Amino acid sequence: MRIKFYLLPVFIFVLGVTQMHAQDLKELRVKPDSSISEQEKQKALNIKNINVPIPKLDLKVNYWKHWTKLGLNFNQAQFSESWQLGGLNSWALMGLFWHKSEFNRNNFNFTTEVDMKYGKLKNEDQMPRPNNDRLFWDNKLSYKLSKSWAIYTSITVETQFDNAYNYGRDKETGKDTITSVKSSFMSPGYFTESVGLEYKPNKEFSLRFGTGTARQTLILDQRIRPRSGQGYYDRYGEYLHPSDPNRGTGARYGVEEDKNFKNELAFQLTANLDKNIAKNINLKARYNLFADYLDLNDPSHRLDATFSSRITSLINVSLGGTMIYDNNMIGKVQWSESLALGILLNLPK
């Protein structure tokens, strides 16, 4: 019992200390609407305006875009004199150049496109002759009326570079020889001016409706110019058909005898397609319908189409074809096809 009484002062002392600390903590508690310490008022910052010099970059907007293709195709076949299974020594070489420039600003668009091809074919015991020959230049100015429609005016030039001949065999030597000239540079040559509406839903396809179209056909080569019986005699000193002196060459490429120019007013429909149908495979096609208002039932047609595939950055394989129907030429469907492997340089890459 004495021990318990001895411990009593200790318990009283501990209880008093605890109570004292409790009172101190209450005094230190922060009321919700008060702060622990008053913040000192900060001095306002002194901000100075500094003029930073901005250099003049002299930037200009380029409204032009350009694309160019340069190509060279070659194929060759050679057989020994002892070869018995058939074959003919031959070689063929063709070069091509294509360029397109396009200007776009606001609703105006100007496009110029040049397509040039020339190739030579040489078979054994035959004279070299052109196997691909074309010069095409199209210029178009348009003003956009809506997202897909525009009014346009265009000028197109089309002809060939070299002479195309008819061939035969010399009676004495039996060798290949030239008998006559079929066509040459600007013989025929076509100049076409057109005004109308253009439908262009995207960058890959366009369709022109040339309601006001004029085309001039020229024959400047005197060897090809159509002549009447008397005109032929005046030129060559003899009649083309001695038994019928009045009979001449007849019209050529729609140009009448003793003339070298023909003008036509017509409706023209032109469709262009340039589409990547798969990776590294492109289809480029152009279709043109030309219907003379004096003879709408017999329009002329031309379709050019080329599939091209890039094997490497330079090696290219292409399959191209052309189909033509023009009653002023021959009145039959003409077509050509070519498969080529060669070098093709695209700029820009």
Average model confidence (pLDDT) across the chain:
88
Decide if pLDDT at 286 tops 70.
yes
Per-residue model confidence (pLDDT) at position 113:
97
How far apart are alpha carbons 80 and 89 in whole angstroms?
A: 9
Residues facing residue 197 across a β-bridge: 151, 209
Binned at pLDDT 50, 70 and 90, residue 57 comes out as confident
Q: Is the dihedral of CA 133, 139, 144, 149 positive or negative?
A: negative
Reply yes or no on whether the pLDDT at 256 is more than 80. yes
113 backbone dihedrals φ, ψ, rounded to 5°: -135, 130
Q: Sign (positive/negative) of CA torsion 168, 331, 256, 253? A: negative
The burial class, CB within 10 Å (0-12 / 13-18 / 19+), for 316 is: buried
Q: What is the largest CA-CA distance in the chain?
A: 170
Residue 62 scores a pLDDT above 80 = yes
pLDDT band (50, 70, 90) for residue 46: confident
Is 22 or 41 the better-scoring residue by pLDDT?
A: 41
* Confidence (pLDDT) at 43: 62
Residue range 20-29, pLDDT digits in tens: 444 454 555 5
- Of the listed ranges 40-44, 45-49, 162-166, 262-266, the least confidently predicted one is 40-44
Unique residue bearing structure tokens 């015991």: 125
Pairing relation of β-strands 108-123 and 261-278? unpaired
Q: For the chain, what percent of residues have pLDDT higher than 70?
A: 87
> What is the tens place of the pLDDT at every residue in 128-175?
999 899 999 999 999 999 999 999 999 999 999 999 999 998 888 888
Burial class (CB in 10 A: 0-12, 13-18, 19+), 290: buried
- pLDDT, one tens digit per residue, over 201-253 is 999 999 999 999 999 999 999 999 999 999 999 999 999 999 999 999 999 99
Residue 348, preceding bond cis, omega within 30 degrees?
yes
Task: Report the 10 Å Cβ neighbour count for 286.
Answer: 19
pLDDT score for 329: 87
Which pair of structure tokens corresponds to residue 171?
A: 């009676």
- Rounded alpha-carbon distances, angstroms, from residue 105 to 64, 90, 99, 109, 182: 9, 51, 20, 7, 45
On whether the CB atoms of residues 161 and 118 are closer than 8 A, the answer is yes
CA distance 127 to 168: 10
3-state SS assignment for residue 253: coil
Q: What is the pTM of this model?
A: 0.80
DSSP string, 157-217: EEE-SS-EEEEEE-TTT--EEEEEEEEBTTBTEEEEEEEEEEE-SSSSEEEEEEEEEEEEE
pLDDT of residue 138: 97
Give pairs for 112-118: CB < 8 Å, separation 24+.
112/137, 112/138, 112/139, 112/140, 113/137, 113/138, 113/139, 116/161, 118/94, 118/161, 118/162
pLDDT of 61 reads 87
Model confidence pLDDT, tens digit, residues 74-125: 888 888 888 877 788 999 999 999 999 999 999 999 999 999 999 999 998 8
2-18: average pLDDT: 49
Label residue 2 by pLDDT band (50, 70, 90): very low
- Band (pLDDT 50/70/90 cuts) for residue 41 is low
Closest CA to 125 of 81, 166, 175: 175
Return the SS3 of 135.
strand
What confidence score (pLDDT) does residue 326 get? 94
Amino acid at 209: F
Which H helix or E strand runs over 231? helix 229-236
Which stretch of 9-23, 273-287, 303-317 has the lowest confidence by average pLDDT?
A: 9-23
